[in-house]
Amino acid sequence: MTKKAEKIEGTVEAWESGQLGRDAQYAKLDNSLSIKDLEDALELKPISIRLKKSLISDLKLIADIEGMGYQPLIKQLLERFVIGEFKRYARECMTDKLKSLEAEEAEGGERKIA
């Protein structure tokens, strides 16, 4: 007599907790997508960059502390840098615009916000 498998209700909680879908017997390899298809879908582009060995070692150490690979860490660092730079550019632009408006106002002109 074989034991009948207990049915697990297909809820979000069951998926999130790992009751459903974490066992290798339920996984299957999908060979229909190429690496290029995957990179296109994720909007990824492979690049080559040369970094100092000491920098790579430091990045690997930080990544290990954070529980991730060093390449995802580098992607995360670059994204944070770009966002920060855009914010800095926006602040500089607004500061310049406000200075320009204050100068116009000091000269007796009307204050306009464009």
**Residue 51 located in a structural domain:** yes
**Residue 1 located in a structural domain:** no
The pLDDT value given to residue 57: 97
Flag the least confident range among 12-16, 24-28, 50-54: 24-28
The pLDDT confidence band at residue 55, using thresholds 50, 70 and 90, is very high
The tens digit of pLDDT for each residue in 63-112 reads 999 999 999 999 999 999 999 999 999 999 999 999 998 888 888 766 55
Question: For the chain, what is the domain count?
Answer: 1
Across residues 16-20, what is the average pLDDT?
77
The tens digit of pLDDT for each residue in 19-43 reads 777 777 777 777 888 888 888 888 8
**Residue 48 located in a structural domain:** yes
The pLDDT value given to residue 94: 95
Q: Specify the pTM.
A: 0.56
**Residue 73 located in a structural domain:** yes
**Residue 30 located in a structural domain:** yes
The pLDDT value given to residue 82: 97
Q: What is the DSSP string of the chain?
A: -PPPPPPPP--HHHHHHTTTT-SGGG----TTS-HHHHHHHTT---------HHHHHHHHHHHHHHTS-HHHHHHHHHHHHHHHHHHHHHHHHHHHHHHHHHHHHHTTPPP---
**Residue 112 located in a structural domain:** no
